[in-house]
Structure 1
């Protein structure tokens, strides 16, 4: 099927093939590129690297129209040959095609379509069939714990069961597309592999750095398997496979994995070779000494099959200093944990060889080194809040607590507060108090950081351009909108400065985050606008997910999955003036400037004459975090209640804060829950977190309109919604939920059904899914660049261009002009790399 986009907009694809004593196949391959592809001819750049130029093959290949040929004086191997071609390529997409393969007509279009539609895909793995098109050569890749990549389903009949696109760990180098800028950033194929597993290593590195490798069945080619290996013995092939598997494992596995896997892999390499070569493993035992001692000095025949593994280990050790440098780079650049890649490894514990002695050793090593546990090791997640974590917790700490609790079911989680007040008697996971200067160590420990509030300003290392830690920003609280109300009592200059500072705190999170949580669809629209204004809604982000849910997801406050159970005295037993038969209205949160308790007090005053049993109870007047000052609205409420003669008769203020684990005792003593607020922008985007406690306890709800929770109450018939600042309508609503038993019972029934949607496990499902497969946001992936239809200059051409520019600048202004131009170029390149690394 033709690409829906204009062919003129398609990027240039540089197709690189390596020839080594297979000129007939190479010519056929290059002709197919010219004659068979449904892709604009001027957008295909065929490149052939000739590793066997001495046999006269160069003349035949160069005779083909439009093919760029680069003769190598020595055999560079597949990896080195591909890298040479990539250095000279002009396309923004590189395609690697074996010389003994030919592409289907849609081969290039299908790959480019995938790269354009999915910006987080760094490479496209094509479907490869045998020459006749009947059997599978490549449709999926697997990786064993000891570093050996293998083609799953190879040799099976192609019955259509592999015609769905999917993410894979690697693609076969015989038919692979890679973004050119990204390939260059990764240093291309590792040339020390020469051949075999260089494609496994590349795919492994791509995935570790957050890029996806996407199998695309429409990207089809046909392959004469291993034609170039026809003159290579099986022993030499095994030698390369063994050596390269160890190298790939050493370079790419984490410290924890490598410590267990490498010793076992080395031992298994030896056993694989002795089993394959049928070596007598006990021939040097003392009880096997020959009668004539001189026979012990004679040479013992050892096949090359048996030597392959031992020599592979020897050469792996020889190259270890070089591989160590590469390992340091890969471990520094990785953004994904080993456990993230387990699904892509498919069957990591696959023994791979059906040899009895080998299988016995494999099982013994897996048990001895506990490799099942290594490859299932949990991800490390730091949940960091600035709020106090004590038995009396406010909204941010409650939310952080439940996030940590939910994620701890699958991961190694630490809940960390930078507040000085951390005192939790019962800990289901580590709960730490860290001074701001100590946060860096916790950030370094974590694979993922979930943060809220002002935490990013303290964890400043996360802001650095080189930071690859996955960051989840919990932006359920639009702090700057709260501040508009909270700061009314301060002077204009201070208020404006505070607002600027808080807005910049949020902007810093929006620039840095890989995933964002908010509390409602209204908030989600608000934050999407914020992100768009900051330039985060880029084509790469949009094309990855046009819904943007993989960037910003709704995760409101939640409630426990189990119903509340009384564990002690509540407000009726503990408060003089409230009887067991009274009707209790509960205000379950704090009293802040953006709330309107005053209208509620007037409504209670109106009702008190007709309903002497009416009681209003404020659950917490003073915030549990002393760093949060009491707001003027609290004093105003106390003063109005006193003036109306309601205090300690119809209105009761709990001047402290009820411990979080005891709040159910107060909720179970209430007859309805209430929250009232003013109509302003803070209300529009707020999510009244304690309102969910009303659902948990089955309390009918009375609330003023304007926020997303009011919409829920109205739509689901959970209570009554009234206009703001209308004491008469508010009194009527309270009358209905408290004294109309049929209406109240219907509300309770609806609440029971709706409440199941708000359990913590349910509301945090987007975060749970993200943490199972965390990735940097698409615009934060390093090495990304748009697919351009303008050919890139080769390195040789670029060097010539630089020399010409230097001559021109010298002629214009001498060395000073050269220095000025060079400085400007350095600044531009640095800026491009920072942008390529994503918004910070």
Structure 2
């Protein structure tokens, strides 16, 4: 059994693998076994890996299962104490694995952790997808130490302490295998987007800790699969976020939050149409609301199971304030300015 299995999920990512896999091999092969799980790519990713990197272990999936179920199917074929889910567009650094491994070894109450995520295009700035660890506001909007909505901070060491977080980025997520499977892994129905937040939230409900370890840092391209303004990405984000809220919110909060989200989601749809003239995202939000309503019943059993296993009624990393109000009305655009 591997101590650490680094698993890169690939779909038509030959260019990313060619550029960033060398750093993973250079700085990780002494401490981890490196896998690439291929989601039925139609480019020459597999031929490239077999010819150039025979030391990388390949898992070939029969179709594009998406991020969530793709990882589930790949990880079922790997025996390891720790999984490290790593995007193909990550450049890692010298000794990046050591702080992550040492922390999990020393803290059995911690299920998962992430390194500090910096932008590969501006290495002094955090990267959008996870920065220095993630949180949620009262209404399910995610934010990070170092990133709130589109405001991404410079890294001046202000978030270099180890911190408990609600969610660790799926771009570079280290997790105990036993914890991963104890909550049935990522929700494959999500396909992509919000799946790591959902996974980490379920672990926190069960009393497990999630942390950011900034002594470890990596550089992330970001947006390697879909551009930021993309109707499919908008659709998946809204649909999956609503589903995650339905699964994970306690009974005392569910009805109120869902009423507010009905209003806020349709407000967002009309804002994107009127102010940005973005017809694609407008339709995507309406489609997402309809899709959530249609498949909500499929998650009733999930909700009951999650709530029955609740060990933490009020999770500190899910904040009571509205991030929209703090950001747009109060002008608080930095993590340090929030009423934490």
Deviation at 1:194, TM superposition (A): 1.5
Q: Deviations over 1:554-576 (max 9, x none)?
A: xxxxxxxxxxxxxxxxxxxxxxx
Q: 1:346 to 1:52 in 2, by over 3 A?
A: same
Q: 1:18–1:51: 8 Å Cα contact kept in structure 2?
A: yes
Structure 2: distance between partners of 1:353 and 1:53: 43
Matched, 1:351 2:324: yes
Q: Please name the residue that 1:696 is paired with.
A: none
For residues 136-169 of structure 1, the C-alpha deviation after alignment (integer angstroms, 9 at most, x for no partner) is 1210212122223233423211111111101100
Name the residue aligned to 1:60: 48
**Maintained 8 Å contact 1:14/1:46:** yes
- Asked whether 1:276 is paired with 2:272, we answer yes
Contact persistence 2:146–2:155 (CA under 8 A): no
Larger RCO (CA under 8 A, 6+ residues apart): 2
State whether structure 2 residue 74 is matched by structure 1 residue 85. yes
Distance 1:347 1:104 in 2: 36
Which residue pairs with 1:71 in the alignment? 60
Deviation at 1:252, TM superposition (A): 0.2
C-alpha contact 2:41 2:64 (8 A) present in aligned 1: no
Name the residue aligned to 1:47: 35
Cα pair 2:145 2:159 within 8 Å, conserved: no
Change (3 A) 1:134 1:46: same
Whole-angstrom distance in 2 between the partners of 1:21 and 1:54: 6
Secondary structure at the counterpart of residue 80 of structure 2: coil
Whole-Å separation in 1 of the counterparts to 2:326 and 2:297? 30
Residues in 1 aligned to 2:85 and 2:231: alpha-carbon distance in whole angstroms: 27
Counterpart of 2:123 in 1: which secondary structure? Answer: coil
> Per the alignment, do residues 258 and 48 of structure 1 end up closer, same or farther by CA in structure 2, a change over 3 Å counting?
same
Change (3 A) 1:67 1:79: same
Residue 282 of structure 2 corresponds to 306
Greater fraction of residues in strand: 2
CA separation of 1:12 and 1:87: change in aligned 2, threshold 3 A: same
Which structure 2 residues correspond to residues 361-440 of structure 1 after superposition, within 5 A?
none
Q: CA deviation at 1:267?
A: 2.3
Asked if 1:220 is matched to 2:217, the reply is: yes
Whole-angstrom CA distance in 1 between matches of 2:115 and 2:179: 18
Q: In the alignment, what sits opposite 1:162? A: 159
Contact 1:275–1:355 under 8 Å retained in 2: no
Report matched runs for 1:108-127 at 5 Å.
108-127=97-116
Q: Deviations over 1:371-417 (max 9, x none)?
A: xxxxxxxxxxxxxxxxxxxxxxxxxxxxxxxxxxxxxxxxxxxxxxx
**Quick one: which of 231, 236, 247 aligns to 1:251?**
247
Q: Counterparts of 1:196-211 in structure 2 under 5 Å?
A: 196-211=193-208
Give the TM-score normalised by structure 2.
Answer: 0.87
Q: Which residue of 2 aligns with 1:262?
A: 258
In 2 relative to 1, CA 355–213 (structure 1 residues): closer, same or farther, beyond 3 Å?
closer
- 1:347 CA drift (Å): 6.0
What is the rounded CA distance, in whole Å, between the counterparts of 2:327 and 2:283 in structure 1? 19
1:353 Cα offset (Å): 9.8
CA contact (8 A) 2:12 2:44 kept: no
SS of 2:102 mapped into structure 1: helix
More helix by share: 1
Structure 2 unpaired stretches of 5+: 331-340
Q: Over aligned residue pairs, what C-alpha RMSD do you find?
A: 2.3
- Cα 1:196–1:353, aligned 2, differ >3 Å: closer, same or farther? farther
Report the alpha carbon displacement of residue 264 of structure 1 after superposing the two structures with TM: 1.7
1:73 Cα deviation after fit: 3.3
1:174 aligns with 2:171: yes
- Give the direction of change, closer, same or farther, for the CA distance of 1:353–1:166 in structure 2 (3 Å limit): closer
Contact 1:143 1:348 in 2 (8 A): no
Q: Give structure 1 stretches of 5+ with no counterpart.
A: 1-9, 280-300, 360-840
Number of residue pairs matched? 320
In structure 2, the residue matched to 1:135 is: 125
SS in 1 for 2:317: helix
TM-aligned CA deviation for residue 11 of structure 1? 6.1
1:61 offset after TM fit, Å?
Answer: 2.0
Q: 1:236 and 1:353 mapped to 2: Cα distance? A: 28
Structure 1, residues 67-86: CA drift from partner, whole Å, max 9, x if none?
Answer: 22223332211112221221
Q: In structure 2, what is the Cα distance between the partners aligned to 1:61 and 1:302?
A: 40
- CA positional deviation for 1:345: 2.4
Matched position secondary structure for 2:42? helix
Q: Give secondary structure in 2 for the equivalent of 1:134.
A: coil
Q: Secondary structure at the match of 2:94?
A: coil
* Contact 2:90/2:218 (8 A) holds in 1: yes
TM-score, normalising length: structure 1: 0.37
Q: Distance in 2 between matches of 1:309 and 1:145?
A: 20
